[in-house]
A = this chain, B = another copy of it.
């Protein structure tokens, strides 16, 4: 399969949301026009995005909802389910543990770590916050592919180094700092202030 771009992957995720809604409503087909309208793009873009994976649609009939749903879930690697460890039991960590979207998509937070003695041992969403000193030994017993880092900026790189040494291959970073990882590890940084800054730029330059 050809390597597809980050922006295509993002649109596939968006289409998947609407396909799952259509599935839940018992619908059997959906048109590129409807996916485009729901996803804020064009029919031509939808057809182009889906053509990466071979021929799905039938002209005039639209796409078969169950088949397209399954194919996109498969392409995105969502069928297998993921164990996710969370490091950082602060406010953001708390919001993330409760975030329904993760579980719906097969991302299961299976452990939470912090270094703060006041947090260690407290129960969050059925999980007990563990001392981060156990990170390496826990990951050795129960490997995880994905980690979420929601620590303060100062400790993020050190935590990431430990995760990488323990075999974690993908990291979602909420600390407001860029992270260095080896080439075989993927990092996505979500920086909320930066999102507001792009809005500020568009307000200032309208």
Contact = CB atoms under 8 A, between A and B. Distances in A.
Interface of A: 1, 3, 6, 9-10, 13-14, 17, 38-40, 75-78, 80, 82, 84, 91-92, 94-96, 98-99, 101-102, 104-105, 107, 145-146, 169-172, 176-178, 180, 184, 186, 188, 190-206
Nearest to A197: B13
B193 A9 contact: no
Residue from A40, A84, A104, A196 whose CB has the most chain B CB atoms within 10 Å: A196
A103 B137 CA distance: 38
Given A82-B203, A94-B94, A102-B193, 9 more contacts: A39-B178, A76-B201, A77-B200, A78-B197, A96-B192, A101-B193, A102-B192, A184-B206, A188-B199
Contacts of A80: 204
A80 B199 CA distance: 13
Contact of A13 (B186, B190, B194, B204): B194
